[in-house]
Amino acid sequence: MKKTLSLILALVMALSLVACGGGNATPNSDGSNTGDSTELVFAHIFATDSMEDKCAKMFAEKVAEYTNGAYTVTVYPAGQLGAMAEIIEQQQVGTATFQIISTTALSSISEYAAVDSWPYMFTNREEFEKAYASDAGKEWLAKLSEETGFTLLAPMYKGIRQTFVNFDAETIDDLKGCKLRVAGLQPVLDCFTCMGVAPTPMSTSEVYTAMSQNVVEGMEIEMSTAASMALQEVTKTVMMTNHGAANYAILVPTKYYTELSADVQEAFDKAATESGTWLADQVEQQDADALKVFEDAGCKIVYPDYSAWETAAYGSYAEMYPELAKYATAMKEAAHS
């Protein structure tokens, strides 16, 4: 019922936007418009005025600027049009055009999306951006578009994932058998099993209480996200495992995107790149601030030798998913070339 209502709401909003504007407006050479503006829906689940929401609004402003007002993007934050999966459905039927999420969320459509969360492809922003700009990165993005029906505009760095546990730990070996909250996607579960922990899928909203009650012993997540969840209050050790760097991306249906003129595609790409760079800058600063939050809370910060996890990622885990490993290995090589 909730899904049906959200789809109906999205359709009503989309129709109301169309009623307010035309569908084929283009800018004149002098910068004025021919006809009314084409209005598009950008829906996402992140809180109003979060950095993700600000990124979406910046994208909307730049689309209007770079198309001289021929396209207008209206942002609906905080799950107003539904959860991630519901927005994906709306994009597939055309009642929403854009969404900002991590590519891993598309794993329900294609297993190839799980490459986004493959461990140790890169361990910093420079390597991340180098990999996605490489031929290997472009090949994976093309494969993902083919498999999912979505084009990723400007994959954005969203921080390196670390491990937060509620017990004293010094080495990677201390995490063996640890009940660690991870995303409930089979490739992710298999990955952490290969690395020797006990992966436990759970809603992020439940993790704080679960760690305080020892239902789970830890969580792997980006530093700034962990601080926003107040994990410093239930964390004893922060293990700087640097094991993952999933992306954020602005998703647009490939069929819609490829039917646009080259000029409009270029405008969308430019808007996504500039807003994505801004978001990545915010992430880097927030991660640095968040590390201090954990230090000030008295959490022990450990920089372990994580070579055993990296070996497992390109050993036993790669053997389970050889097709995905092919892309992950190529992107890792590009990041370090």
E strand or H helix at 333, and its extent?
Answer: helix 322-336
SS3 of residue 110 by DSSP: coil
Mean pLDDT for the stretch of residues 5-20: 44
For residue 108, the model assigns a pLDDT of 87
Rounded Cα–Cα distance for residues 269 and 323 (Å): 29
pLDDT at 64 over 80: yes
Rounded Cα–Cα distance for residues 40 and 18 (Å): 8
Rounded Cα–Cα distance for residues 316 and 193 (Å): 10
Residues of the chain above pLDDT 90, percent: 87
For residue 241, the model assigns a pLDDT of 98
Q: What are the pLDDT digits (tens) for 104-141?
A: 989 989 999 999 999 999 999 999 999 999 999 999 99
pLDDT at 55 over 80: yes
According to DSSP, the β-strands at 179-182 and 218-222 are parallel
Rounded Cα–Cα distance for residues 72 and 82 (Å): 21
**Sequence-separated (6 or more) residues with CB below 8 Å from residue 270:** 62, 66
pLDDT band with cut points at 50, 70 and 90 for residue 85: very high
Q: What are the pLDDT digits (tens) for 174-225?
A: 999 999 999 998 999 999 999 999 999 999 999 999 999 999 999 999 999 9
Phi, psi of 18 (to 5 degrees): -60, -40
Q: How far are the Cα atoms of 33, 34, 46, 160, 182 from residue 290, in angstroms, in the given order?
A: 46, 48, 19, 12, 20
Q: Which of 24-38, 77-91, 162-176, 279-293 has the lowest mean pLDDT?
A: 24-38
E strand or H helix at 221, and its extent?
Answer: strand 218-222
pLDDT at 20 over 50: no
SS3 of residue 124 by DSSP: coil
Which two tokens mark 235?
């964390």
Instruction: Tell me which amino acid residue 126 is.
Output: E
Which two tokens mark 116?
């986004």
Report whether 272 contacts 153 (CB < 8 A): yes
The CB-side HSE value for 231 (13 A sphere, CA atoms) comes to 33
pLDDT band with cut points at 50, 70 and 90 for residue 36: confident
Mean pLDDT for the stretch of residues 302-326: 97
Give the angle subtended at the CA of 323 by the CAs of 319 and 324, to the nearest 5°. Answer: 85
pLDDT at 326 over 60: yes
| Cβ-defined contacts of 269-272 (< 8 Å, 24+) | 269/153, 269/154, 270/62, 270/66, 271/59, 271/62, 271/63, 271/65, 271/66, 272/59, 272/153, 272/154
CA 276 to chain centre: 11
